[in-house]
Amino acid sequence: MKYKEIFMERAIQLAKNGLGFTSPNPMVGCVIERNGIVLSEGWHYKKEIYHAEFLAINNVKNKYLFFDSTLYVTLEPCVHFGETPPCVDLIIRNNIPKVVVGIQDPCDKVKGLGIKKLRKYGVEVIENVLIDQCRILNKRFFTFHEKKRPYIILKWAESNDGFIHSENNKGHWISGIYARQLNHKWRSEEDGILVGRKTVLNDNPKLNVRKWFGKNPVRIFIDRKLSISNSHFILDGTQYTIVFTEKNKENQENIEYVQISFEEKIINQILNFLYKKKILSLIVEGGKKTLENFIKENIWDECRIFVCDIVLKSGLKAPKIEGIVSKKMNLNKDQLIMKLSI
């Protein structure tokens, strides 16, 4: 492996520290190297905080060391003023002669303009180093800007004989404790979590992060007739919640009611609204009808299925989904199967 791949791999590793905290910004890692030795490192901690390049550059006290250094960054440096100043200007101002970029930024405000400006000011730029890994790193960010919708993860647990639950097993877990803990970790990594009305009625879920450290996702559910009472956890106001309904209702504290047409494609209306809200990623946890609507419309990116060590014999059949199996792993007695959309 060459120097540029080694240091870019390290930059990717650093960037992953921001998972769950940077949205709607991308995860970015940066390494500054001189003669094969790392001068400095940085990553984007969370939105409204300085970018990876800024942190890495400002960690170096002796700026003369930059004159024969190389800066590695997983995503093209920004060229516009946002919550922080442009990283491109900082690189130029510090006389860093060479920049290695993992992948071009898909955002319309950047999209090659950062690289163009660096070259205009005499900076040597090498592009597309570990490009596939850098794209996977920011799969949510790329999907959001390219497809104008959140990155969608479908998730459910099913019995060993293919049922989501039996009629006398509503509201009870069929997955094990390790699967449930992993599910809470996943929640902390995504912007939103969506369920249908029946899931709220049957399970009364909290849809928060309790078994892992991290932020709670935005709770989102579909309630056409507003039949869910305030006694349910999802309407307790403890975290921001979006309700999609055909009714016209005033917002309450931490609860936003969004009126949509149930005579048209519901999913498209929901995703268009979430896009405007800058929600980059969405976990769809149920119920069966809601999951199958996403599958039928072929609007999903990733699917995570727990096949659990329990036999129900009858009940509600689990959804069927095609896709490319990307990973299989065992969590105690449960098996996790992960698929990617074709």
> What would the pLDDT profile of 40-82 be if each residue is shown by its tens digit?
999 999 887 789 999 999 999 999 999 999 999 999 999 877 7
Query: Could you tell me the CATH superfamily of domain 148-340?
Result: Dihydrofolate Reductase, subunit A (3.40.430.10)
Give the side-chain half-sphere CA count within 13 A for 139: 16
Residue with structure tokens 């003369």? 64
Q: What are phi and psi of 311, to 5 degrees?
A: -115, 120
- For the record, the structure tokens of 44 come out as 């984007």
What's the rounded Cα separation, in Å, for the pair 275 and 80?
21
Residues in the chain: 342
Q: How much is the pLDDT for 47?
A: 81
Contact 72, 46 (CB under 8 A): no
Whether 342 shows a pLDDT value over 90: the answer reads: no
Residue with structure tokens 């490319």? 324
Query: pTM value?
Result: 0.94
Which residues lie closer than 8 Å to 263 by C-beta, 6 or more apart? none
Report pLDDT digits (tens) over 3-39: 789 999 999 999 999 999 999 999 999 999 999 999 9
What's the rounded Cα separation, in Å, for the pair 57 and 52?
9
* 3-state percent helix, strand, coil for the chain, nearest multiple of 5: 30, 25, 45
Catalytic residues: 53
Assigned architecture for domain 3-139 = 3-Layer(aba) Sandwich (3.40)
Q: How far apart are the two ends of the chain, measured CA to CA in Å?
A: 31
What's the rounded Cα separation, in Å, for the pair 216 and 23?
13
Domains in the chain: boundaries: 3-139, 148-340
E strand spans, 52-117:
70-75, 98-103
For residue 197, the surrounding DSSP H or E stretch is helix 197-203
Report pLDDT digits (tens) over 200-219: 998 999 999 999 999 999 99
Indicate if 148-340 has the same CATH topology as 3-139. no
Nearest to 285 by CA among 166, 179, 196: 196
Report pLDDT digits (tens) over 148-198: 999 999 999 999 999 998 776 555 778 999 999 999 999 999 999 999 999
Whether 278 shows a pLDDT value over 70: the answer reads: yes
What's the rounded Cα separation, in Å, for the pair 115 and 42?
20
Average model confidence (pLDDT) across the chain: 94
Q: How much is the pLDDT for 168?
A: 65
